[in-house]
Amino acid sequence: MFPRCLSRTVLGTSISLIYRRPHTTRIPFNVAGIYPPIATPFTENEQVDYGKLQANLLHYREIPFRGFVVQGSNGEYAYLTKEERVEVVRRVREVVPKEKLIMAGSGCESTQATIQMTLEMAKSGADAVLVVTPSYYKGKMTSSALVHHYIKVADHSPVPVVLYSVPANTGLDLPVDAIITLSQHPNIVGLKDSGGDITRIGLIIHKTKQSGFQILAGSAGFLLAGYSVGAVGGVCALANVLGAQVCELERLCINNHWQEAQELQHRLIEPNTAVTRKFGIPGLKQAMEWFGFHGGFCRSPLLPLTEQEINELRNVFTNNGWL
């Protein structure tokens, strides 16, 4: 069958779309739960350390994660080659039990490259793909452009697509009107929102709940708040370090134990900020080492923490009762 070229009006703009694999009905796909966006350990000479990656995954089996995000922002995917990105997913799938979902980051700057990476990730064992907003030409990434991009990716993807809005890295938020439009696509099942605007997250949930669209909080720092407005889980960098505690916060929220959840959430806020906005991936990898995991080295141009930064990071975890 030859691909069909259709014209569709999206957000007031006529867009031509190529449909190679039309999805007509939404297949139920539950993403609820906690996912660590796993780190990619590197050796001292900056090669992917697959041995330490496997050791981390075996250690994580003790924690009730729903699955794993592979090649998310904390996986340093921007510094990996295409071949490395695909190989990491393949290696993770070999180790992770089938009942654990693998959500693989397949976002690239161009639509065509994203489609190709999505196909490769699915072939390597991903159950779903997480597609970050293209952002290099952010001035032209209008709602219409982004809707066009995601529809083409979702039409070509053999696995469900989760949208990924991370304004701290991309400099743009996936617009709410675009999300509402995309939530109607049968192969777009949810959104990971890392912006932290709970009003926005609540509005998205309110406007999309009839379609079965699901929202994942993109940080442990606002996980409780996310659950309070209807999020179904979280993709949390801190879960690489305090995975059992983040899963416990999930349990408390879904069982309506809000007082206990609030107390635990308070103790996670500063450590979460430390391994994300303040010290970033080098801080995350350092903290992993303290809790029995392998953070490994970072890939250049990321630098390891200074001694002063390590002490600051340690104090954050100590002052909140984790060390």
Active-site residue identified among 52, 100, 152, 192: 192
Amino acid making up residue 205: I
To which residue do tokens 């949390």 refer? 236
**Binding site residue list:** 235
**Average pLDDT, stretch 54-61?**
98
Q: How confident is the model at residue 9 (pLDDT cuts 50, 70, 90)?
A: very low
pLDDT at 20 over 90: no
Residue 49's pLDDT is: 98
% the chain with pLDDT above 90: 91
Active site residue 140: no
pLDDT at 8 over 70: no
**Binding site residue list for pyruvate:** 235
Domains in the chain (CATH in brackets) are: 18-268 (3.20.20.70)
Q: At residue 109, what are phi and psi to the nearest 5 degrees?
A: -75, -40
CA angle 210-213-215, nearest 5°? 125
Residue 22's pLDDT is: 59
Distance of alpha carbon 33 from alpha carbon 231, whole angstroms: 10
pTM of the model: 0.91
Active-site residue identified among 164, 207, 227, 285: 164
pLDDT at 176 over 80: yes
Active site residue 192: yes
Alpha helices, H only, the chain:
50-60, 82-95, 111-123, 143-156, 167-170, 176-182, 198-208, 223-228, 243-254, 258-273, 280-290, 307-319
